Amino acid sequence: MAAALTAVAGTAPAQDTPAFEPTPIVARGVLQSLEFTPMTSSERLRHYLTGTFGPGSFATAVAHAGLDQLRESPTEWGQDGGAFAQRLGNAYAKHAIRGTLEYGASSALHQDDRYFASGETGFWRRTKYAIASVFLARRDDGQRTFATARIGSAAGTAFISRAWQPASTSGAGNAASSFGFTIASDLGTNVIREFWPDLKRRFHRN
């Protein structure tokens, strides 16, 4: 499966230099795909702390809580100010749990969950690369493999978070839906990460 995804995404090389200051929602930024350098233990820890507990992570939780507030999900929490605080706590707890699970698993498996820009040209080629990159991570040797830590942490968080959900969202089906929403969110985030440097350059020219 990893080989098929790699073929779809292309085989762009990698570099360890940030290409832009990440927006709040795109909390982990983009690295240019030139010359890959694996993270040290301290760099991996810093990446985890920044991505999981930095300002961007809180903004992401606010966005997710706002969406749940509009959808009134779960319905038992209502729609007043206290309900938003509850949804914000739920969103941030899930974000922190996923970040922690992914940090532990990626450290053990020597997987790099950072996003590396494709270095490709063409909208569809870059979009396919961004989508495939949700399911692929780099090993210490720079080769791409199935992103066990990323996908596993999303699944684990979806089921762990059922522990504090009310009756309407506490079932296994709800966990599966939550997992699907998380992966869909990752897909959208990767597409933004891929094209954000181009958009930023256009904004600066205007």
The residues near 85 (Cβ < 8 Å, ≥ 6 apart) are none
Helix (H) or strand (E) holding 158: helix 148-160
For residue 111, the SS3 value is strand
pLDDT computed for residue 20 by the predictor: 30
pLDDT computed for residue 13 by the predictor: 40
Q: Which two tokens stand for residue 194?
A: 């891929």
CA distance readout (Å), 161 to 60, 66, 71, 119? 17, 18, 19, 37
The residues near 184 (Cβ < 8 Å, ≥ 6 apart) are none
pLDDT computed for residue 22 by the predictor: 32
pTM of the model: 0.80
The residues near 77 (Cβ < 8 Å, ≥ 6 apart) are 83, 86, 87, 166
For residue 38, the SS3 value is coil
Average pLDDT by stretches of 10, the chain with 206 residues = 57 37 42 74 96 92 94 94 95 97 98 92 95 96 95 98 97 97 96 89 72
Helix (H) or strand (E) holding 173: helix 172-205
pLDDT computed for residue 24 by the predictor: 36
The full set of domain ranges for the chain reads 2-205
How many Å apart are CA 59 and CA 18, to the nearest integer? 20
pLDDT computed for residue 16 by the predictor: 35
How many Å apart are CA 144 and CA 139, to the nearest integer? 6
Amino acid in the structure at residue 138:
R
